[in-house]
C-alpha cells in the first residue's frame, strides 16, 4: 500500500493557517492532525476538533511515554502532535496536515525528511498586528508577544520547502493547493 504524505503548515499566529488548512481539508483528500495543547480554549473552539485540550500533567505524561512526534512550548503553553495518530494515518495511505510552529516543523523534518513543509507568511508585521487585534481574543501584551515570536520565525524559515504570503486568502489558498497537489 502506498504511504500517505505528511504536510506541515507553519506560520505566525493570526496569519491564517487554520483557515487555509480547513480549505485544504474540504477540497483535497487530506486529514487534519488535531494537536494537543495546555492552553485554554478560545471562544468557539471545540475539544477534539480544534485542539485536544489537556492539562500540563497529562502533556508531560505523553512526553514521558514517547507519544509525541514533536512538541514545544509556545507563548507559555505546551503544544504537541500525536505520534501514533500520524503514523497510523500515513501507513493507511492518507495524507495528513500538521498545523505546528517553526520549531515543531524542524523536528518533524528531522524525523520525516520527505515531509512537505510550507510556511505561511503575513504580507507585513503591521498587517499581522492588525489581524491579531481584529481577532479580539488576546490582550495587547499577548499580541506583542506573538509579534515578537513572528519576527523571530520570519528570520528562520529558510528550511521550509515553500513560503507562501497570505496577502489575500483566496490567492494564498490557490498557491498552497498547487504546492500540495504537485508534491503528493
**pLDDT one-digit tens code per residue, 105-153:** 998 998 889 999 999 999 999 998 888 888 877 888 888 888 888 888 8
Minimum mean pLDDT among 53-62, 76-85, 111-120, 128-137: which range? 128-137
Q: Give me the residue label for grid cell 494537543.
A: 36
Q: What is the pLDDT of residue 155?
A: 83
Q: What is the pLDDT of residue 120?
A: 95
Q: Reduced to 3 states, what is the DSSP secondary structure of residue 144?
A: helix
Q: Which of 94, 114, 79, 132 is nearest to 8 (CA)?
A: 114
Higher pLDDT, 78 or 73: 78
Minimum mean pLDDT among 3-7, 55-59, 115-119, 149-153: which range? 149-153
Q: What is the pLDDT of residue 104?
A: 87
Q: Which of 81, 126, 116 is nearest to 95 (CA)?
A: 116
Give yes or no for residue 184 having a pLDDT over 80: no
- Give the pLDDT band (50/70/90) at residue 171: very high
Average pLDDT over residues 68-82: 90
Pairing of strands 68-74, 77-82: antiparallel
Amino acid at each position: 500500500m502506498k504511504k500517505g504524505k505528511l504536510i506541515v503548515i507553519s506560520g505566525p499566529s493570526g496569519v491564517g493557517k487554520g483557515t487555509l488548512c480547513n480549505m485544504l481539508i474540504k477540497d483535497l483528500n487530506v486529514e487534519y492532525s488535531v494537536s494537543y495543547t495546555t492552553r485554554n480554549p478560545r471562544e468557539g473552539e471545540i475539544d477534539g476538533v480544534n485542539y485536544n485540550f489537556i492539562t500540563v500533567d497529562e502533556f508531560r505524561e505523553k512526553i514521558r511515554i514517547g507519544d509525541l512526534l514533536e512538541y514545544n512550548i509556545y507563548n507559555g503553553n505546551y503544544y504537541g502532535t500525536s505520534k501514533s495518530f500520524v503514523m497510523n494515518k500515513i501507513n493507511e495511505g492518507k495524507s495528513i496536515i500538521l498545523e505546528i510552529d517553526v520549531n515543531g516543523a524542524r523536528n518533524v523534518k528531522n524525523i520525516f525528511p520527505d515531509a512537505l513543509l510550507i510556511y505561511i507568511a503575513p504580507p507585513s508585521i503591521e498587517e499581522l498586528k492588525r489581524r491579531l487585534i481584529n481577532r479580539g481574543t488576546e490582550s495587547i501584551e499577548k499580541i506583542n508577544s506573538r509579534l515578537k515570536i513572528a519576527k523571530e520565525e520570519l528570520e528562520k524559515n529558510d528550511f521550509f520547502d515553500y513560503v507562501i504570503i497570505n496577502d489575500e486568502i483566496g490567492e494564498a489558498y490557490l498557491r498552497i493547493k498547487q504546492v500540495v497537489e504537485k508534491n503528493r
